Chains A and B, each alone.
Chain A
Amino acid sequence: MENRTSSCNNRLLALFLLWTTALGLVGCSTSASSKYFGRTSPPSDNVLRYVTGSEPETLDPQLPDGQPEARIFMALYEGLVEYGPKDQQPIPALAKSWEISPKVDEFIFHLRQDAKWSDGKPITANDFVYSLRRGFSPETTSRTAGLGYAIKYSEDFNGEKVFIKKDGRFLTEADLEPTPAKPSTPFGPETEFRKFMQSPTRLTIYGDEKKRTKVLDGDEKLKALVQGAEFVPIEGKDIGVEAIDDYTLRITLKQSAPYFLGLFAHQFFRLVPQHAIEKHGKDWTRPENIVTNGPFKIKEYRPYDRLIVERDPNYWDAKNVHLDRIDFYPVEENSTILNLYKAGSIDAFLNHTVPSSWINEVRQYKDEYLDFPEAATAYYSMNTTKPPFDNVKVRRAFLLGLDREALSKFRKITQPLYGKVPQGSFPDYAKAAAKVGEEIRNEKGIAADAWEKRYKFDPETARKLLTEAGFPVVKNGDQFECPTFPVDRLAINFNTNENNKSVAEFLQAQWKRNLGVTVPLKTMEFKTYLPFFKSLQYEGFAQFLWSGDYMDPYTFLSLQYGKDNEGAAGFYDPKYDKLLDDANVELDAQKRYELMARAEEYLMEQLPMIPLTVNATNWMKKPYVKGMYPNPGTLLPWKFVYIERNPAKWDKDVANIMNVPDAQVDQQLADLVSTQKAAQK
Chain B
Amino acid sequence: MLSFIIRRTLIIIPMALIVVTLTWGLVRLAPGNFYTGEKKLPAAIEANIKKKYGLDQPWYTQYGMMMSNIIRGDFGDSVKYQGQSVNEIITRHLPYSATIGILGYLLALLIGLSAGTFAALKQNSSFDYGSMSLAMLGLSVPNFVLGPLLVLVFSFWLYWLPPARWGGIAGLILPVCTLAAIYAAYIARLTRAGMLEVLRSDYIRTARAKGLDEKTVLFRHALRGGLVPVLSFTGPALAALLAGTVVVEKVFAIPGLGNIFIQSVFNRDEPLILGIVAFLSILIMVFNLIVDVCYGFLDPRIRYE
Contacts and interface: CB of A to CB of B under 8 A. Distances in A.
Complex: A in contact with B (CB within 8 Å): yes
Interface of A: 4, 7-8, 11-12, 15, 19, 26, 29, 38-39, 54-55, 57-58, 60, 63-66, 138-143, 145-146, 149, 155, 158-160, 282-283, 285-286, 302-305, 329, 331-333, 335-336, 339-340, 342-343, 345, 525-532, 534, 544-546, 549, 566
B156 interface: yes
B58 to A, nearest CB: 15
A283 B81 CA distance: 12
A286 B35 CA distance: 22
Interface residues of B, number: 59
A22 B83 CA distance: 49
B52 interface: yes
A282 B83 contact: yes
Contacts, number: 165
A29 B152 contact: yes
B253 A336 contact: yes
15 contacts: A141-B45, A143-B41, A155-B42, A283-B83, A303-B89, A303-B255, A304-B255, A304-B259, A331-B164, A527-B36, A527-B266, A528-B32, A529-B32, A532-B31, A566-B40
Interface string B25-41: 00000111101111111
B57 to A, nearest CB: 14
Contacts of A63: 82
A286 B32 CA distance: 29
Contacts of A302: 255
B131 to A, nearest CB: 11
B126 A303 contact: no
Interface in B215-256: 250-253, 255
Contact of A145 (B45, B156, B260): B45
Contacts of A526: 32, 266
A345 B33 contact: no
A335 B148 contact: yes
Contacts of B155: 339, 343
Nearest to A56: B81
Given A141-B48, A528-B30, 7 more contacts: A138-B47, A159-B43, A303-B89, A305-B166, A339-B163, A342-B156, A343-B155
B49 interface: yes
A527 B164 contact: no
Contacts of B40: 534, 566
B84 interface: yes
A530 B32 contact: yes
B44 A155 contact: yes
Contacts of A305: 165-166, 255
Give 6 closest A-B pairs by Cβ, nearest first. A527-B32, A304-B255, A159-B44, A339-B163, A58-B82, A146-B42
Given A149-B42, A534-B40, A303 B81 contact: yes
Contact of B93 (A26, A304, A530, A544): A304
Contact of B82 (A39, A57, A160, A532): A57
A332 B250 contact: yes
B37 A66 contact: yes
A530 B45 contact: no
B268 A345 contact: no
B130 A333 contact: no
Interface in B244-285: 250-253, 255, 259-260, 263, 266, 268
